[in-house]
Each structure stands twice: as structure tokens, then as C-alpha cells.
Amino acid sequence: MRLYVETRIRADLEDLWEQTRNPAQHQRWDLRFTEIACLPGGPGDAQRFRYATRVLPFLTVTGTGISAGERRRADGERVSALRFASAHPLSLLAEGSGYWRYVPTPDGIRFLTGYDYRTRWGRPGAGVDRLVFRPLMGWATAWSFDRLRLWCERGISPARSLWHALAELGVRLLAVLSLLPFGPVAAFVAVMASLLLPPLPTTPAARRCLRKPPARTVTPTLLARLERP
């Protein structure tokens, strides 16, 4: 898998499973999706779904997917796997697959994801993905995972944590603008401080998540059994 994100969440495993596997809850914390809705016709325990992402106020990209979960495993972990695809003509993402792992530890639950996708539009699409889209997707996944952690651990709703993030961003921008009249050195110091100072504890931050996978990462066998959406 090309993209990997991991966080540690101190929460009840059942609660975390509900917040991630329930589409109505999932769409609240995941920045990558505007809407997730169940569709009929999933084989066995698998669930088909439709997703939508508002890229611009007047542009929404849609797609479909299928997911399945394993709640009871001999190792005590849980796994959720999915495949997804978009036929939307303006979607850079053509199809992809990924998984979530829920690993109980004495210090909380290791919640991690690995996923990859195929782009369209040939070499231009691959170039846009490498330079812009893939780094943005990695950041959005990590930011969303920390947003989920704040919801599970502190009871900060996803809507409230978004306002925290916007408010803190606004304060940092105002601090930079206020120092511009004092010359380039002061402005440079303000910019570096705004970038390097850690976010407030109640503000989601992608930097709190692990972005590099362990040396040995195994894809769940559940993913191989899922049919294409």
C-alpha cells in the first residue's frame, strides 16, 4: 500500500468500531468525504455504499464501494477492508482499495490504514497525483484520524474540532499579517513560528499521526476476498 497512517486512540473498541464502520458516523469525521450512504445488494456480510466529495461549491465527485469487516479474530484484532471506484469524468481517482486495522494494546487501540488507488488521464494524471493529490490525501487521512481521536477520547465533536482548526489557523494568519509592517525578518520569524509551533491539544493535526509504515506490513486476506464495486 502506498499510503499509510496510524494513530493510537484511548477508547472502547466497540465505540471506535461504531464511529468508523457506521457510514453516518464515518462521514462526520473523515475530511475526504462529504457524504457516505449505504446501498442495497452487498454479498454476505459485505456492504455496498455510495460516497460523495465536494471538491468545490459547485462540483461534487461521486463513487461507489464495497466494504466488509472481521470483528472476531483469533489474534484479538479487528479488520475492515474496502474497494472503491469512481466513474465520474472529473475524478482523478479511478479505483482503489484499502483496509483499517484495530489493534488493542495496553495503551489504547492502534488504529491504522493502508490504501492505494489507480489514477486516470495517463501521465498527466500520474504527475498531478504524485505532486499534489497523493500528498493531500495522506495529509487529509492523518488529519481526519486525529479528529476521530479527539472525538473518541475527549468528546469533541467533528464539527467543533473543525471550528477549532479554523480558529487557530485564523489566529496564526493574523499574527503573520500583524508583523508584516515590521520588515521581512519579523515576517519570516512569524511565518516560521506559525508553521513550527504545535497545535493546541483540542485542534486536529496530521503531524500527530505516524505516516511511515512498519518494516513489515501485511495486507489483510479479507481484502483479497472482496469483489470490485
| Model confidence pLDDT, tens digit, residues 158-195 | 999 999 999 999 998 988 888 888 888 888 888 888 88
Residues 23 and 66 sit within 8 Å (Cβ to Cβ) = no
Torsion of CA 207, 104, 78, 114, to 10 degrees: 20
Residue 225 pLDDT greater than 90, yes or no: no
Among 98, 100, 96, residue whose Cα is nearest residue 17: 100
The mean pLDDT value of the chain amounts to 91
pLDDT for res 44: 67
Instruction: Please state, for a pLDDT cut of 90, what percent of the chain lies above it.
Output: 69
What's the first-to-final CA gap in the chain, in angstroms?
Answer: 19
pLDDT for res 76: 81
In the three-class reduction of DSSP (H, G, I as helix; E, B as strand; rest coil), residue 71 is classed as coil
